[in-house]
């Protein structure tokens, strides 16, 4: 276990160093931003709207037991922006993006395309892994902002059209309760989660074994590893933000 942690840490350090020092490949970065960010919008949007709707229903159900159903807007926006929006988005991308990166890189590894890059004096960390890492940490915060908006509006739709809330009052309570710190917490988490998703995909793809079975295992390990690390980092970051009062 310690050996695996060490290998992942070294891989992460090399990928981060390649990401923030020249030479960069803007075309590769932009292509990965489209693949990771734009093509993930449908699944992120659908997940967010249903999470927001279900959250509003459950908060209303619990609030009615204590006569506190009027706090549904405040709790929905707080839960979406600080926790559920970023976590659900991260987990969705762990399944879609991290596994996809691992399969793509793994196929390149087993067909010796990565070895060919080295033969041509192209650093795989700069040409393959850095663009995916940068695309992950750039696009995931943007996706989280979209998920927050859609999730809150999902809660609004259920509350107004299903639970009898007044639309204007609901939106006013939401905006009055929401603070910049709530949004910032989710964005900071998204930066970490984006890096985790990209690194797990690249790392397990780079270590893929030969054959279809090896590539499939690499994709599975990348998805599971990214999901577990997202949940672990979410708890650690939430604890840190509570300690510093953010």
Residues 61-71: what's their mean pLDDT?
A: 84
pLDDT for 28: 92
Scored b (16 or more CB within 10 A) or e, 135-166 reads: bbbbbbbbbbbbbbbbbbbbbbebbbeebebe
pTM above 0.85, yes or no: yes
Residue with tokens 């054959």: 211
Q: Name the percent of the chain lying above pLDDT 70.
A: 100
Expressed as residue numbers, the domain containing 82 is 27-244
DSSP string, 30-66: HHHHHHHTGGGHHHHHHHHHHHHHHHHHHHHHHHHTT
Does residue 52 lie in a domain region? Answer: yes
pLDDT for 46: 94
Does residue 148 lie in a domain region? Answer: yes
Question: How many structural domains does the chain have?
Answer: 1
Does residue 18 lie in a domain region? Answer: no
Does residue 21 lie in a domain region? Answer: no
pLDDT for 245: 84
What is the Cα–Cα distance from 125 to 31, expressed in whole angstroms? 16
What is the Cα–Cα distance from 47 to 60, expressed in whole angstroms? 20
Does residue 123 lie in a domain region? Answer: yes
């Amino acid at each position: 276990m310690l050996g695996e942690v060490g290998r992942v840490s070294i891989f992460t350090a090399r990928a981060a160093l390649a990401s923030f020092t020249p030479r960069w490949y803007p075309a590769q970065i932009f292509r990965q931003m489209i693949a990771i960010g734009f093509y993930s919008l449908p699944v992120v949007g659908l997940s967010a709207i249903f999470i927001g709707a279900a959250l509003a229903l459950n908060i209303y159900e619990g609030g009615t037991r204590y006569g506190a159903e009027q706090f549904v807007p405040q709790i929905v926006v707080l839960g979406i922006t600080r926790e559920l929006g970023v976590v659900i988005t991260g987990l969705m991308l762990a399944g879609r993006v991290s596994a996809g990166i691992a399969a793509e890189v793994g196929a390149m590894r087993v067909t010796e395309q990565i070895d060919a890059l080295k033969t041509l004096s192209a650093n795989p960390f700069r040409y393959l892994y850095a663009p995916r890492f940068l695309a992950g940490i750039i696009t995931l915060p943007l996706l989280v902002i979209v998920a927050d908006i859609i999730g809150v509006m999902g809660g609004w739709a259920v509350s107004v059209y299903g639970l009898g809330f007044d639309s204007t009052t609901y939106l006013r309570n939401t905006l009055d309760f929401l603070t910049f710190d709530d949004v910032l917490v989710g964005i900071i988490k998204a930066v970490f989660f984006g890096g985790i998703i990209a690194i797990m995909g690249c790392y397990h793809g780079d270590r893929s074994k030969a054959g279809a079975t090896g590539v499939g295992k690499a994709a599975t390990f990348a998805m599971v590893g990214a999901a577990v690390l997202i949940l672990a980092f979410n708890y650690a970051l939430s604890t840190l933000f509570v300690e510093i009062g953010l």
